[in-house]
Structures are given as C-alpha cells and as structure tokens.
Amino acid sequence: MPPKSNFKRAMPHTQPSMLASLRTTQLVGDSKAVLPAELINTILDYLPVADMFNFARTSKRMREMVYDDTRWQQRLRSMGCWNEAEAKQRFEEAMKKKLQAQRAEDARIAGLVPNGSTSSMAP
C-alpha cells in the first residue's frame, strides 16, 4: 500500500453570499476618512480662488464651507479689496428690498392688492 500523501486539496471556489458583499460595502463606507472642519478651513485658506471653486463642487458640505461669507470677507480684506462701508450699504439695500417684497406679498395674500396689478392702476 502506498504511503498517504499530506497534500491538501484546495476547496472549490464558491460565490460569496449577498450578506458578505453587503458587509464589505459597509466596511468600505466606514473606512472613508473624514477631516475635521477646522482642518478643511485651514486648507481652504491656502487654496487659490479657482481651486476653491473646484473644491466647492465636491459636495454640499464643501460648497457651504467655500461660499461662507466670512471666508470671502477675510480673503477680500487680505487682497485690499474689501470696503466695509459699501458692504454695509449694499446689505441694507438688500434688506429693504426684501422687506418691501415681503410686505407686497403679505398685502397680496390679504387681498388688498389684486394679483398681478399695481396700486397705481385703476381696477
């Protein structure tokens, strides 16, 4: 009788179950690195303006960070382009327009002014 071999056969390759592939997918999602907002803000401070716009396209969170008003005020101040008086004036004008539009809408809803007409025109 020939001696027994210690050779072990490889197990046949089976397809992984659906749950195994889902677990793998979840692991990939969990391993995604998330940088703290403070670090991202610091990185954004060093990016050129064109790269900031590209960065803003990557996600909603990044877009909010790039288009934050305080970031642009700081950037314009460092470039010597920020005029505080003009910014205040434009802000006040925008708020007046918004208030007037809100009052007009409230009046239209209340029925004081018919939809689509102006107060100076006769009905």
- Same domain for 71 and 48, yes or no, is yes
Cα separation of 31 and 73, whole Å?
A: 36
Contact 91, 85 (CB under 8 A): no
| pLDDT of residue 50 exceeding 60 | yes
Is 104 within a domain? Answer: yes
- Residue 66: which domain range? 35-82
Is 119 within a domain? Answer: no
Question: DSSP labels for 40-83?
Answer: HHHHHHHS-HHHHHHHHTS-HHHHHHHT-HHHHHHHHHHHT---
Q: pLDDT tens, 6-49?
A: 766 666 666 666 666 656 655 545 555 578 888 999 999 899 98
- Same domain for 71 and 87, yes or no, is no
Is 40 within a domain? Answer: yes
Q: pLDDT tens, 75-122?
A: 888 888 888 899 899 999 999 999 999 999 998 888 865 555 555 555
Number of domains in the chain: 2
Is 13 within a domain? Answer: no
- Same domain for 96 and 73, yes or no, is no
| pLDDT of residue 64 exceeding 70 | yes
Cα separation of 43 and 87, whole Å?
A: 26
